């Protein structure tokens, strides 16, 4: 049973780490990235769809994204969705393709983005710590109920703490990498 609890903790913490890394792909760094548009939804065909479900997205240049919609009648809807998104991007269309230029980031905007990423990293760390707390509480309850010997409960607590430390380090590593990417001119 203790191995199951540690395994559950590892899986839940991995989900928190994966979610944090996915959120980082939405942070603009001055370079074009296809992942930036993952969160943008477009109202088409009576439903909301992601842009990557409506056409091919490519990066022909480091500071340019190009969207080639499969249905050209949806170009205006895609442009409106990008303009309405919090990405602060201005798309332009020639009737066949949508081009999205990425202007260079100002120093002030870079610092704001680093603060935002730091806040996201802290939220991910809190999520990991919440998993740890839950699993340790479960172990203590099992010990109190007599389902888990005291020494096994301590081993489990120590193992969950080691797993937590490992995931906190991974989150910090991802944060530092993104911070360096944002501050790179």
Helix residue ranges per DSSP H, 57-106: 75-84
How long, in residues, is the chain?
185
Q: How confident is the model at residue 2 (pLDDT cuts 50, 70, 90)?
A: low
- The pTM of the full predicted model, rounded to 2 decimals, is 0.72
| 3-state secondary structure at position 130 | helix
Give pLDDT tens digits for 12-45.
Answer: 999 999 999 988 887 777 677 787 788 788 999 8
Q: Rounded to whole angstroms, how far apart are CA atoms 42 and 74? A: 9
pLDDT digit string (tens) for 124-175? 999 999 999 999 999 889 888 888 888 888 898 999 999 999 999 999 999 9
Angle between helices 107-145 and 150-183 (to 10 degrees): 170
- Helix or strand or coil: residue 22? helix
Task: Break the chain into its structural domains and give their ranges.
Answer: 2-25+106-183, 34-101
Q: How many Å from the N-terminal Cα to the C-terminal Cα in the chain?
A: 51
CATH number of 2-25+106-183: 1.10.132.20
> Under CATH, which architecture does the 34-101 domain have?
2-Layer Sandwich (3.30)
Task: Examine domains 2-25+106-183 and 34-101 and report if their fold is the same.
Answer: no
Would you state the structure tokens that stand for residue 124, as one six-digit string?
Answer: 């991910």
């Amino acid at each position: 049973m203790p191995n199951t609890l540690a395994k559950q903790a590892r899986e839940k913490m991995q989900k928190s780490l994966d979610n944090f890394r996915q959120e980082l792909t939405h942070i603009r760094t001055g370079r074009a990235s296809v992942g930036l548009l993952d969160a943008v939804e477009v109202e088409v065909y009576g439903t909301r769809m992601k842009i990557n479900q409506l056409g091919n997205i490519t990066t022909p240049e480091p500071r340019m994204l190009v969207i080639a919609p499969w249905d050209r009648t949806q170009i205006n809807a895609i442009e409106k969705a990008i303009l309405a998104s919090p990405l602060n991007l201005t798309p332009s269309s020639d009737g066949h393709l949508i081009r999205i230029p990425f202007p260079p980031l100002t120093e002030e905007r870079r610092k704001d983005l680093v603060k935002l990423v730091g806040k996201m990293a802290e939220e991910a760390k809190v999520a990991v710590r919440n998993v740890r707390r839950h699993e340790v509480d479960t172990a203590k309850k099992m010990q109190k109920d007599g389902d888990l010997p005291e020494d096994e409960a301590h081993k489990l607590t120590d193992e969950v703490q080691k797993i937590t430390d490992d995931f906190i380090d991974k989150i910090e590593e991802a944060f530092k990498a993104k911070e360096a990417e944002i501050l790179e001119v």
